[in-house]
Amino acid sequence: MAAQENLITAAEFSQIQFDFLIIGGGTAGLAVAARLSEYSQFNVGVLEAGPLVNRLDTVDIPGLYGQTIGTEHDWGFKTVPQPGLHGRVLPWPRGKLVGGTSALNFMIWNRGSKEDYNAWEQLGNPGWGWDDLLPFFKKSETIHRPTLRHQTDYGATFDPEVSGTTGPINVSYPNYYPTTHQLWRQALNSLGIESNEAHLSGSNTGVWTCVNSITPEEQTRSYATNSYYLPNVHRKNLFLLTGAFVDEITLEATDDGSHKATGVTFTCNGQQHHVSAKYEVILSAGTVQSPQILESSGIGNPQILASAGKATKVDNPNVGENLQEHIMAAIVFETKTEVQNDQKSGNKGPDAALEEYLRHRAGPLTAVPSCFCYLPFVKALPEGKFQDLSRLVSGLPSSNLQSHSVTSERFDPKQRLGQIEYILDFGNWNQAFSPSQDDAKNYATVFQVLQYPFSQGSIHINSSTGNVSANEPTIDPKYYSGTHGKIDLEAMIHSIHFADEIARSKPLSNLLGPRVFPPKSITTDDEYRDWVGKTTITDWHPVGTCSMGGSRGIEGGVVDHRLRVYGVQGLRVIDASIMPLHISAHIQATVYAIAEKGAHMILQDHNVLA
């Protein structure tokens, strides 16, 4: 199906009396729109700033992952300078097209541990534990059973009890694996790390083969656009307007002193429009933009709103706070001379790989990273260093005692949570490492990703513009800053040594040569701290800026456990920003589950579902 830009004009869109109006046609927004529009009595409208793009190779072909980053399909967000990163500014890619970041991500499909979601419920958010979320994970997906060969040769597994089989997103194991795949698993097994035969069942610790959001028959990316939107584009009650930049949510004062969301003001093609919503406005603009839109509408910290020239309608200092993000270091190794960089191009070269893909839907361009391992710190860190970290954690001050209790419990040595993630991929993926142009060596990268960061930052509307459409949010993750950030930094520097152990272990050591970045000349903790600060990047999993408040209510967050914004009737947030604590997983599958559950709750509240 060819993409059709603006199936409806802004003027026409504005004249429709919508029952539900969704801000953001991305990962969560399209899933919510698809579920609500299943009921013909509701008119559902979606406002999306980016274009509708279909059949674009850099989106569709799995092996071209990453090539849309920094293009016109990326919002191009950046952090403010980070003192903990030696003053560096980091890019924060987010999808600027229909489908949002589901069109840009690396198609990793996994879930956090049971304890991750149970912690949300423990904070006072009933209905958000593992058992409650599992049906919505399954509702979003069709996981294709791996072949017997995949199961025996590559450790692919399938558990029908926890796998969805009728959902919109197609999930499958790769058809192609790099040379290192089996060797990675065997090397980790030799270090006492067990293979996980049920990594989607509530525990992802150990080493396992990842499934991906890829349609197996076509070997193309399965994402919100081609899974939730295009199959339903024929519905007469579903309307999508692209090129629409939201200025603010219309809030009308009510007799009881609160407010009600009645519509949205937006700009399209340079002209401002207003559109109404009879029942609800649903904000699904993501962790970066959802808090900005709330602030541009007068919901947030009065001081921040005043500095942006906005009148306060709902006083809530939690809007834009509680930002949590996975922190990543890329450790580069030489590969032995006989090893080719076959992850991207194969031994035949990039042209031959593309031809193989186009002709047969086979070869290296069908593959994305599949070598995964999640470990508790007690496994990855030397015993003394783990104890040092535990002491730092136990001594932390915290204004949120509930949250502090949960995060502290994760350092109990009896816990078996995936606190640190390791991924292996061919090629040099560290932009700070630049071999000379005449360097004929090949490289491989071990990614090391911190899963439960103690560093917490914020995202707010830019006070100099006060306009969310200006695309200049103030993103301050506060990487490695303060007492909390020191824990993250120490965890990262000491986890590098386990990456070295993996690379030195047979049979992987038959392919991987010496570590080249950080260079072997680095030996002391201070030198590792300096290197980590100079090279750390984001893993593109920001959460928490409109989090559920739990038992503390508006004192602890932005939305209640049914995702309703405190102090406003008819306004919900449904996206990754509602997560009160980070999870040990890539967030794609969880965002779809949040969207499915959010849509279900809306339908319940409007007496459609029991």
State the amino acid at position 158 in one-letter form. Answer: F
> Percentage of the chain with pLDDT > 70?
94
pLDDT digits (tens, 9 = 90+) for 433-455: 988 766 768 999 999 999 999 99
Question: Phi then psi for 534, rounded to 5 degrees?
Answer: -85, -15
Q: What is the mean pLDDT of residues 20-41?
A: 98
Please say if the pLDDT value at position 199 is more than 70. Answer: yes
Q: What is the mean pLDDT of residues 472-501?
A: 94
In the three-class reduction of DSSP (H, G, I as helix; E, B as strand; rest coil), residue 28 is classed as: helix
pLDDT digits (tens, 9 = 90+) for 148-173: 888 888 888 899 999 999 999 999 99
Position 469 scores a pLDDT of 61
Within 17-143, strands assigned E span 18-23, 44-47, 77-78, 91-92, 108-109, 141-143
326 is catalytic: no
Alpha-carbon gap, residue 271 to 290, rounded angstroms = 22
Q: Which residues contact 397 (CB under 8 A, 6 or more apart)?
A: 483
Alpha-carbon gap, residue 309 to 303, rounded angstroms = 10
Residue 415: pLDDT band by 50, 70, 90 thresholds?
A: confident
Alpha-carbon gap, residue 263 to 590, rounded angstroms = 28
> DSSP letters along 501-565, please?
HHHHSTTGGGTEEEEEES-TT--SHHHHHHHHHHH-EE-S--B-TT-B-GGGGGGT-SB-TT-BB
Residue 129: pLDDT band by 50, 70, 90 thresholds?
A: very high
Q: Within a 10 A sphere around the Cβ of 67, how many other Cβ atoms? A: 13
Q: What is the mean pLDDT of residues 33-62?
A: 96
Please say if the pLDDT value at position 404 is more than 80. Answer: no
Position 436 scores a pLDDT of 75
Alpha-carbon gap, residue 481 to 454, rounded angstroms = 10
* 404 annotated ligand binder: no
Alpha-carbon gap, residue 341 to 443, rounded angstroms = 8
Please say if the pLDDT value at position 43 is more than 80. Answer: yes
More confident residue, 337 or 248: 248
Please say if the pLDDT value at position 20 is more than 90. Answer: yes
Position 5 scores a pLDDT of 45
Q: Which residues contact 306 (CB under 8 A, 6 or more apart)?
A: 312
R_g over Cα of the chain: 23
More confident residue, 197 or 35: 35
pLDDT digits (tens, 9 = 90+) for 500-545: 999 999 999 999 999 999 999 999 999 999 999 999 999 999 999 9
Asked whether the beta carbons of 229 and 30 are under 8 A apart, the reply is yes
Q: What is the mean pLDDT of the chain?
A: 92
- Among candidate residues 460, 541, 561, 582, the one labeled active-site is 541
Asked whether the beta carbons of 109 and 164 are under 8 A apart, the reply is no
Among 539, 535, 504, 515, residue whose Cα is nearest residue 444? 515
Among 584, 397, 393, residue whose Cα is nearest residue 487? 393
> DSSP letters along 396-425, please?
---S-HHHHHHHHHTT-TT-----EEEEEE
pLDDT digits (tens, 9 = 90+) for 273-289: 999 999 999 999 999 99
Position 449 scores a pLDDT of 98
CA 363-366-367 angle, to 5 degrees, is 100
Q: What is the mean pLDDT of residues 483-497?
A: 94
Alpha-carbon gap, residue 147 to 120, rounded angstroms = 36
404 is catalytic: no
Label residues 25-57 b or e (16+ Cβ within 10 Å = b): bbbbbbbbbbbbbbeeebbbbbbbbbbbbbebe
| Token output for 373 | 């391992």
* Cα dihedral: 502, 503, 508, 514 (round 10): -170
pLDDT digits (tens, 9 = 90+) for 66-77: 999 999 999 999
pLDDT digits (tens, 9 = 90+) for 218-269: 999 999 999 999 999 999 999 999 999 999 999 999 988 889 999 999 999 9
Q: Within a 10 A sphere around the Cβ of 291, how many other Cβ atoms? A: 33
pLDDT digits (tens, 9 = 90+) for 339-388: 544 444 445 567 899 999 999 999 999 999 888 999 999 999 988 888 88
Q: What is the mean pLDDT of residues 471-493?
A: 93
State the amino acid at position 69 in one-letter form. Answer: I
* 246 annotated ligand binder: yes
CA 408-329-432 angle, to 5 degrees, is 150
More confident residue, 393 or 110: 110
Question: Phi then psi for 403, rounded to 5 degrees?
Answer: -60, -40
| Token output for 398 | 């915290």
Please say if the pLDDT value at position 63 is more than 90. Answer: yes
Position 551 scores a pLDDT of 95
Alpha-carbon gap, residue 213 to 25, rounded angstroms = 18
